[in-house]
A and B are shown apart, each in its own frame.
Chain A
């Protein structure tokens, strides 16, 4: 079973999914992404300023999802590509995020490899295209 995300729930996260809008804690200065009610770094700050992240970062870790292991919303993609890489990216502003990597280098993915965010279709459900970010070698 895939993790079903309802359309209204996806809609609420559009700014962060489409252009990486995060928040800077006014107490400790750290950047939270995705946005939180209380800062996950100082556990005290609850006031934030909005920041749009650059999308630049480096690969912190990665894995390859084989065709059979893909959740149902990614089945069509797995059918086309066979397998696809998923990376944990450490963004230059600090947060670590998980996303797919597109156009991986022929020599393979390496830890520390620079990447940048790109705008892609993540999957389609109920006839609605869910757009969001993936990463690409920079």
Chain B
């Protein structure tokens, strides 16, 4: 049985915080972003999830959606069936298999792969995967400067033409002190040693990507685009180059500079962006990362064009309003 993405949707919040706001307020911005997306006071990861999913399922026979998986490191409730909100908001069938993924930024590709697995196991026709994330850290934390917000959703289909999942490879090992949140706490922590965190990222993402290439007997040159998890763009680009990918394969999937670190969304948001520039026959490699830690690499091949979307990624990037750092602190409930 083949599993393919047959449609997708992206949601970016309207508000943006520019890098210069950090520089003006704090004297520096520790993230190499131009700007980042910010949720409004009445948004959370579920409202973003619904908006992205509505775009992904437009025109689809909802009665045939039998699987729903969600991913976020920042659900609005620590305990509750979050899929219930989605089922009612979209009017999905109530006899639906669900999976909730969280607890690290690996959740995005985890939800994607578990939806593919549930689709194979259940014999259902369509699965909906929604990844919506907005990491949170305290205003005094350096890592906070990059934290953005976004959602993307994918409809997976069994035995239908689209963006076919060709294979995947996972790599997981113990990795301490990087981007963690003890139980009951709201804000992320990190020991803040950049070389140490880059080493872990390079080890895990590198191992997953190399493992996948070996498993499939592929070479980097066989891919049109590569999209690796982005929580700092220099590390991402350096690793992709070390793995043998060139600038033209890397650049299209870099979304970090305009949206920030979108957590579990990061590599899948990049995937949504490159899909607009992909033609049938092209291959795409996606590598996720979760601190603590692990990585999953996914290989895709586009078999036929996906349905056009009403708004291009570029339109979403340009539909925005800049806010001040003070307003941002109000939205964070810091003041």
Which residues of chain A have a CB within 8 Å of any CB of chain B? 14-15, 18-19, 21, 52, 76-77, 79-81, 100, 102-103, 118-122, 129, 131, 134
Contact = CB atoms under 8 A, between A and B. Distances in A.
A119 B41 contact: no
A80 B47 CA distance: 18
B175 interface: no
Summarize B's interface: helix, strand, loop or mixed. helix
Nearest to B88: A18
Q: How large is the interface on B (under 10, 10 to 19, 20 to 34, 35 or more residues)?
A: 20 to 34
Given A81-B41, A118-B51, A18 B76 contact: no
Given A79-B330, A80-B331, A131 B41 contact: no
Contacts of A19: 88-91
Contacts of B85: 18, 131
B47 A121 contact: yes
Contact of B41 (A18, A52, A77): A77
Contact of B40 (A14, A18, A79, A102): A102
Contacts, number: 52
A77 B91 contact: no
A120 B321 contact: no
Given A80-B330, A129-B77, A131-B89, 20 more contacts: A15-B88, A15-B91, A18-B85, A18-B88, A19-B88, A19-B89, A19-B91, A52-B91, A77-B41, A80-B327, A81-B41, A100-B42, A103-B321, A118-B47, A119-B50, A119-B54, A119-B89, A120-B42, A121-B44, A122-B42
Nearest to B91: A19
Q: Which of B41, B76, B77 has the most CB of A within 10 A?
A: B41
Given A103-B14, A119-B50, A14 B88 contact: yes
Contacts of A100: 42
B39 to A, nearest CB: 10
